[in-house]
Structure formats: C-alpha cells, structure tokens
Chains A and B, each alone.
Chain A
Amino acid sequence: MPISLVVEGLSAKRGEDLIFKDISFILAAGDALVVTGANGSGKSTLLRVLAGLLAAESGSMRMEGMSADIGHPRELCHYLGHRNAMKRELTVEENLSFWKSFMGDSPGGAGIGIEDAAEALGLGGISHLPFGYLSAGQQRRMAMAKLLVAYRPVWLLDEPTAALDASADRLFATLVTRHLGAGGIVVAATHQPLGVEAGELRMTGFAGVAGELV
C-alpha cells in the first residue's frame, strides 16, 4: 500500500503570535508540495512543525499506509534546513558516513553509498577532503547528499537551492524527480521554482492561508 502524508487543521504559534492556522492537505506517494510566500509568512515554521521540531498549536499530522509501526511521523522525514548539519573539521566522507549509520533507513527503501551520493550531486572524488574546505555551494550540495545516503520517504526542504548555481539547481531537480518517481513525498519551501510538477501552498502570513491545495 503506498504511503500518504495527512495533515489536518495545523496551526502554529511563535511566542504569542499565531503564524498560520488550519492548514490541511493530503500528499500521496509521488506528490510534491511547494510552499511559497513572502519572508516571514511562516514557510520555515510550517516545515519545522512538520519535522516535529516545533509543537503544533492544534491539528495533527500522520502517515498512512505504513506497514511498520512508527513512533512519530518525523522519523520518516528528512529535514534539510538552512544549516547544513555537517562538521567543518571532519571530512565529507566522515560526515556522511556518520549520518548514514546514525539515521539508518526507514522501512521501504535503502540509502545509497557515500561516494555514489557525492557523485549524484556532481561532487565525486572530493569526499576525502575536510568539509570546511568546500565552497558554500559545494557544502550545500554535500548536505543534500544526506538525503540520499539514508532513506526517508518524506523530504522536508527549506530553501534547498538558495546557494546553488543553475546547473546544480537542475541536478537537484532531477534528484527530487527521481525521489518522487520512487514513491516519495516532497514538501519544499522555496522562492525559486523547484523544477518539478508540484502543488502550491501560498502562505500569506498572520493567520491567513490564501491558497488551498491544488
């Protein structure tokens, strides 16, 4: 049975301010959702709520169709935030192999090897270098390699392509397409078009969400 991500009536607060309320959508396997909106409209907050890093004020989120028992939907998610979650002092290989073994694979898939993942992002052959030696764009791409080394059905991406040039952008779009094709789910907050077919959720901020899901 293919999985689906069900979100019902989600609202979140930051401090005392209500950032958004009553967001509902259902994403089936192979669906992508692009969250757009101005700065401060709550895109990042929505993603962090979905990743289980922020408590929702109300509403719920669940995964349906999983055969195995899971504690919390966040365990099935990759979260690619603004920060890369990689250590400058360690080599790329050490970083990625740590995350690969620390995260493990979700049921239903397997991560690929570290060198293969670097290759998939166009950075093969430099994984023996310390992460700190890489340029900002290269660091971002290596952070994306995390998505590949450990399998998660759901990718939550916060401004994934901000530091990337056009060619790396296209490379990433093919990765997302491949993930969707394999029955994955992607939720991405972005200003730039992601380059894949996706529904759009437009956040307007201050407790109003204009666009409903396509």
Chain B
Amino acid sequence: MTSLFLRDLKLAMRAGGGALIGVLFFMTVVAVVPFAVGPDLNLLSRIGPAILWIGALLASLLGLDRLFQAEREDGSLDLMLMQETPLVLTVLMKCLAHWTATGLPLVIAAPLLGLFMNMNEVAIGATMLTLLAGTPAITLIGAAGAAVAVTLPRGGLLVSILVLPLTIPVLIFGVSAAYAAVEDPAPFLPPFLILIAITLFFAVIGPLSAALALRAASD
C-alpha cells in the first residue's frame, strides 16, 4: 500500500504533476480578493479566514477529477480493481497521497497568505489548524465525486459541481472554528471537534462510495 502512496506522490511531483498548480491557484485566488473588496486592512483581516478557506476549498477541488480518470485512461484502474487488496483501501490510499501532494501545501502556504490578509498570529494559527483538519475531508468526499464522474469525457467541471455542495459542512465548521479562535465569546473547541468528526466520517463514506462507484462504472 505504501508503494501506491509513494507512486502517486512521485507522479504529483514529476513534470506535469498537480502539486505546484494547486498552491499557485490558491495564492492567485486569495490575491485577487483584495482587488474586489478594496485594500482596507481592517476589512481584509476580518474576512481573511473566510477567504483563505474558500481559496483552499476551490484549490483542493482542482486536481480531483484526475484522481481516477488518469488511472482509467492508461488501464491501471482495471488492475487495481482486480487485486486482493480491498478497493476501499486503495481509494483511501490514493486520497491520502492526493491530499499530501495538493492539500498539505495549501496548509503550509496559508500563513503566508494570512500575512497578506493582515490577519494576526492567532487567526493565522487557527486557520492553519482548521485547514489541516478540514482539507482531508474535501479530498475524501471529492473522491466519491471523482469516481462517479470517472467515465465522463469531460468530468472535470462536473466533479466540482457535484462535490461543492457536499463540502458545505466542512466550510461552515472550518470557518466558524477559525473565527471562534479570534472573536472572544464563541468557543473554539466545539466547531473544531465537529470539523474533525466530519473528516473522520468522510474518511469512511468517501472511499466506500468511491469504491462502489468505480466497480459500477467499470466496463
């Protein structure tokens, strides 16, 4: 199983891989927001966590459509379906590799963008922590969408449309936990724990439904 993880990581790093593109997209999306809302630093620091979350959400959806489609195009998916290894485990491993290659860089880039948004240290730390806990959920539930759209010739956009509504809870609790850390009366822990619970829940239903969809889509 680690060999699958390492292979997917290598593929993401090699030429044409998506590891760099996701972060770049994240930076660009966050960077254009001030042009729309104006350079008022107080306003930016107030909306900063939300902007970072939306940017990270869009960026993590970016490479998802290729998660299984690339495997299907070159026939690797057939072989993965045939193995003794449960397909759920294979999907989970692919999700983990995908998150490490595209989600983790977002978490690491978040503090830098937090500075651009004039967020203070606590807000940056809280946003980073919520991103770390929340972005795996996006990848995991996105895998289900990617598996459903795997046979479609132009599944890329469809995956985003299918997955975005499913990620709303992640966004809600991620952003509210990040805000709770900065604004005093609201407690940080409850929304953050719910966020972790959502990630764990998606870690089960995401790969499970993706495996079912891949079996059904095989032809």
Contact = CB atoms under 8 A, between A and B. Distances in A.
A75 to B, nearest CB: 5
11 contacts: A53-B78, A84-B75, A85-B75, A85-B76, A85-B78, A87-B74, A89-B11, A90-B10, A90-B11, A98-B7, A101-B3
A102 B82 contact: no
B82 A81 contact: no
Contacts of A48: 219
A94 B7 contact: yes
Interface residues of B, number: 25
B15 interface: yes
A178 interface: no
A73 B56 CA distance: 43
A79 interface: yes
Given A51-B78, A53-B78, A85-B76, A102 B85 contact: yes
Interface of B: 1, 3-4, 6-7, 10-11, 14-17, 73-76, 78-85, 218-219
A56 to B, nearest CB: 13
A102 B79 CA distance: 10
A82 B81 CA distance: 16
A62 interface: no
A87 B75 CA distance: 10
B84 A75 contact: yes
B218 A98 contact: no
A82 B219 contact: no
Given A79-B78, A103-B83, 12 more contacts: A51-B78, A71-B84, A77-B82, A85-B78, A87-B11, A89-B15, A89-B17, A90-B7, A94-B10, A98-B3, A102-B3, A103-B79
Nearest to B70: A87
A213 B9 CA distance: 47
Nearest to B82: A74
Q: Which secondary structure characterizes the binding site on chain A?
A: loop
Nearest to A99: B79
Nearest to A131: B74
B82 A52 contact: yes
A82 B76 CA distance: 11
Contact of A83 (B4, B11, B73): B73
A88 B76 CA distance: 12
A84 B78 contact: no
A97 interface: yes
A128 interface: no
Contacts of A86: 74, 76
Contacts of B83: 75, 102-103
A116 to B, nearest CB: 19
Nearest to B81: A53
Contacts of A103: 79, 83
Nearest to A89: B14
B82 A75 contact: yes
Nearest to B13: A89
A51 B3 CA distance: 23
A142 B156 CA distance: 31
Contacts of A88: 74
A81 to B, nearest CB: 5
A165 B4 CA distance: 33
Contacts of B75: 81-85
A98 to B, nearest CB: 5
A104 interface: yes
B74 A84 contact: yes
Contacts of A66: none
Contacts of A74: 82
